[in-house]
């Protein structure tokens, strides 16, 4: 089988989607029966090969307002690549123009097309509209977005959704053929490292200072300003904390300004090596994520696989991956005060070796990339063969938490 991924949100500085693609490439590279092609935006046209995957970079214009993303809109080039590669299934990872090009290619060559719901950005935009234009404008916009999403995703043979809550929300607005496929991390890379003393020494931390970590794009939707504001509040508490932000993005200048003015904030630009990133996860006392529009939160799985606790925001999208913590501590909101209160609350709970071990084992048993891609490959086969519910039940089991539709039916 050959799988084709069309990936809009892929750049040198991107996070979760890029990790998903690279983990898929590693998985496919270990399987002699699978072939893979990836279409991504770039500053140039180029083709390269990594084991069983062929990466087609398509020259694309920059996305306005973004430091690293480009718009994958070169219809003729994308269609030519798909015609040349002749995949058995196409997967699209965004709800924009590239998705419609993928659908066109599928119809032209009779190739099934699936989607992975990586980004909830269209719906998240509604919250921004509400903040600046009010509830009435937000409701009108949300109705338009819902109609658009239904029109797009109901053209797919199946849509894979990483979180249960999103399955319910998308099903409620009328999207069909939804299948719950949680993401997972590569636990051969993300596991506890003996890096704590070294990294704390590099950061110059005193023994009584707790290390807070964020890793990801320094973007508005990640609520980076709130993380910086959180540190303002924490400076007035009895305990001392140091915030390390790993990443780059459109708010990098703001973060650099904070690091120059406050010695308890450090920024390390984007880390390419997942092994190096695992060392930072392992050294942290708490991973803090202020995002409110996450579809899953792969970084939360990575951090926990390294043994580190994760603090997210209620309703922000990390609930599924951190459930199982005893107790679960989440911020009541993404504002600085709520985040600071949650950090203080989290550190009142004793962290033990037993809790760390349970956290690591939970990731290894439920959220590994092997589990994710084993499931996806079986789904690709089912979609490609245009089978119905009995095949899905045979390959996945009759698991209502995993399978939200009785069949993957042809368009």
Sorted by sequence, the CB contacts under 8 Å of residue 218 that are 6+ apart come out as 224, 245, 247, 248, 249, 250, 251, 252, 254, 255, 267
At residue 80, φ and ψ (nearest 5 deg) are -65, -40
The answer to whether 57 and 44 are in contact (CB under 8 A) is yes
The answer to whether 176 and 404 are in contact (CB under 8 A) is no
H or E element: which one contains 242?
strand 240-246
Using CA atoms, how far apart are residues 397 and 257, in angstroms rounded to an integer? 52
Using CA atoms, how far apart are residues 248 and 48, in angstroms rounded to an integer? 25
pLDDT reported for residue 272? 84
> Can you give the pTM of this predicted structure?
0.87
178-180 and 158-161: which strand pairing? Answer: parallel
Q: Is the peptide bond before 257 cis (omega within 30 degrees of 0)?
A: no
CA 3 from chain centre, in angstroms, equals: 20
In 3D space, the residue among 311, 332, 333, 295 whose CA is nearest the CA of residue 164 turns out to be: 295
Using CA atoms, how far apart are residues 322 and 308, in angstroms rounded to an integer? 11
pLDDT reported for residue 239? 79
Hey, what domains does the chain have and what are their CATH numbers? 2-186+369-396 (3.40.50.2000), 196-366 (3.40.50.2000)
- Report the chain (411 residues): mean pLDDT per 10 consecutive residues: 93 79 94 93 94 95 82 95 96 94 96 92 61 66 87 95 92 93 95 97 95 93 95 89 94 95 94 94 97 90 97 92 90 96 95 95 96 94 67 42 38 39
Q: Output the CA–CA distances (angstroms, integers) from residue 150 to 91, 141, 154, 389, in the order listed.
A: 17, 14, 6, 22
Using CA atoms, how far apart are residues 127 and 288, in angstroms rounded to an integer? 22
pLDDT reported for residue 384? 86
pLDDT reported for residue 235? 92
Give strand ranges (E) for 270-382. Answer: 286-288, 310-313, 330-331
Using CA atoms, how far apart are residues 332 and 98, in angstroms rounded to an integer? 36
CA atoms within 13 A on the CB side of 173: 19
């Amino acid at each position: 089988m050959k799988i084709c991924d069309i990936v809009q949100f892929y750049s040198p500085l991107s996070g979760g989607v890029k990790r998903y693609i690279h983990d898929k490439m590693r998985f496919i590279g270990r399987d002699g029966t699978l072939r893979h092609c990836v279409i991504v935006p770039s500053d140039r046209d180029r083709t390269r090969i990594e084991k069983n995957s062929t990466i087609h970079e398509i020259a694309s214009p920059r996305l306005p307002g973004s430091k690293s993303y480009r718009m994958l809109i070169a219809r003729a080039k994308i269609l030519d690549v798909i015609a040349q590669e002749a995949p058995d299934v196409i997967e699209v990872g965004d709800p924009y123009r590239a998705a419609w090009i993928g659908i066109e290619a599928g119809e032209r060559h009779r190739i099934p097309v699936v989607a992975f719901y990586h980004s909830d950005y269209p719906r998240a935009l509604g919250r921004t509209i509400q903040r600046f234009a009010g509830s009435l404008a937000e409701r009108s916009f949300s109705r338009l977005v819902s109609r658009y999403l239904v029109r797009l995703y109901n053209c797919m043979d199946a849509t894979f959704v990483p979180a249960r809550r999103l399955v319910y929300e998308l099903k409620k607005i009328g999207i069909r053929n939804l299948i719950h496929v949680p993401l997972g991390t590569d636990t051969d890379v993300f596991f506890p490292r003996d890096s704590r003393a070294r990294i704390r020494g590099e950061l110059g931390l005193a023994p009584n200072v707790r290390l807070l970590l964020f890793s990801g794009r320094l973007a508005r939707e990640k609520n980076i300003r709130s993380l910086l504001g959180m540190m303002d509040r924490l400076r007035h508490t009895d305990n001392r904390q140091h915030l390390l932000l790993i990443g780059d993005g459109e708010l990098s200048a703001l973060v650099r300004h904070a690091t120059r003015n406050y010695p308890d904030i450090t920024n390390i630009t984007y880390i390419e090596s997942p092994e190096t990133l695992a060392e930072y996860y392992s050294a942290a006392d708490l991973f803090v994520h202020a995002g409110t529009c996450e579809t899953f939160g792969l970084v939360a799985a990575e951090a926990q696989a390294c043994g580190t606790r994760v603090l997210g925001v209620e309703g922000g999208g990390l609930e599924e991956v951190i459930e199982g913590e005893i107790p679960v501590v989440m911020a009541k909101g993404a504002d600085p005060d709520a985040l600071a209160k949650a950090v203080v609350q989290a550190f009142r709970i004793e962290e033990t070796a037993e809790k760390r071990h349970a956290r690591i084992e939970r990731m290894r048993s439920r959220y590994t990339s092997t589990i994710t891609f084993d499931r996806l490959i079986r789904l690709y086969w089912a979609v490609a063969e245009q089978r119905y519910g009995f095949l899905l039940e045979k390959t996945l089991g009759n698991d209502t938490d995993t399978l939200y539709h009785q069949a993957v039916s042809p368009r």
